[in-house]
Amino acid sequence: MQTDLSRKLGIEHAIFGFTPFPAVAAAISRAGGFGVLGAVRYTAPDELARDLDWMQEHVGDRPYGLDVVMPAKKVEGVTEADVEAMIPEGHREFVKETLGKYGVPELAEGEASGWRITGWMEQVARNQLDVAFDYPIKLLANALGSPPADVIKRAHDQDVLVAALAGSARHARKHAEAGIDVVVAQGYEAGGHTGEIASMVLTPEAVEAVAPLPVLAAGGIGSGQQIAAAFALGAQGVWLGSLWLTTTEADLHSRALTAKLLAAGSGDTVRSRALTGKPARQLRTEWTDAWDDQDGPGTLPMPLQGLLVADAVSRIQKYEVQALLGTPVGQIVGRMNSERSVQAVFDELTSGFERAIDRVNRVAGRD
């Protein structure tokens, strides 16, 4: 699976794997792909440094990257406390009532929430970059559009490629105009924040919009056959995220959640604002239904919603409250029906890719 982009980065397969777990990112790179560590959960720079140290020890000489969340526009002087103060009391009461309805216990006294969305705030992301640029990362990806211009320049000064996710051809063109190097065309089927255009439509539109910049196809991809289709649509690689959640290297801290993912079908996800305030595809649960109910208070804009539900999500996860337990995941969850190592996933992807190419060659009379 070689393309101009994969050769430039020195990887064997043009498979880019996004994950919040260092062990998964390192395994992706070792398997011949390109591991991308999600940084949004790191609220303290020393935590990120610790895991990047671990990555350095476990990737060998293989390249890897980092994914941050930075708005293109800077808001000066806003602290987490300022944002917390903007949350209406009625929304806090709704969270309390919903958790009470399902008997979700409180966290122990003095126990802090393990799930915060402060990583969505620009200064937190900038602190992450101050750490990351001390490591030999080869790619910096931003999940909220193009990073600020000074961040792009800083990356380029250190020979780091910059990628940005796009949900439409218009977004892709804006990224190209901003000076990014790689567009990740993320379709409607993807886990996490998505737009409303499906991958089969979006990928060729993005390729045409930003040519000759490389485009990675994302959303609904979980087999070698789909990777071959992405290449046929003009992509120079694929960006996979959800597929790694049920690998043996992943650390979801919840057997119940892993079991829900393994049992879920492709129709068991929903795009909901319940988690962050922006539409994000995730497992459909009683929690997402409550927030999407017209009789409820409705969700708040980012980052208010993420801060509002942080403690609640931690409690749901800690006590594994089945009806409410969920996670961001794409429609490809319907294929995620067994726990396998990252290497086993790669073996299946590459063999499926080979079968797809052979099939196309036969159709084209090249066999």
Least confident of 75-89, 96-110, 112-126, 280-294: 112-126
Global pTM? 0.93
HEC profile of 193-252 = ECCCCCHHHHHHHHHHHHCCCCEEEECCCCCHHHHHHHHHCCCCEEEECHHHHHECCCCC
8-state DSSP, 328? B
* Res. 129 pLDDT band, cuts 50 70 90: very high
Nearest to 325 by CA among 277, 266, 284: 284
Rounded to whole angstroms, the Cα distance separating 262 from 259 reads 5
Q: What is the pLDDT of residues 148-196, one digit of tens each?
A: 999 999 999 999 999 999 999 999 999 999 999 999 999 999 999 999 9
pLDDT at 80 over 70: no
Q: Are 164 and 145 in contact (CB under 8 A)?
A: yes
Joined together, the tokens standing for residue 136 give 């030999």
Indicate if the pLDDT at residue 120 is higher than 60: no
Could you tell me the strand order of the sheet in which 192-193 lies? Answer: 192-193, 280-283, 269-272
- pLDDT category of residue 70 using cuts at 50, 70 and 90: confident
Whose structure tokens read 């393309």? 3
Averaged confidence pLDDT in the chain: 92
pLDDT score, position 112: 66
The predicted-structure confidence for 237-272, as pLDDT tens digits, reads as follows 999 999 999 999 999 888 999 999 999 999 999 999
Q: How far apart are CA 175 and CA 177, in angstroms?
A: 5
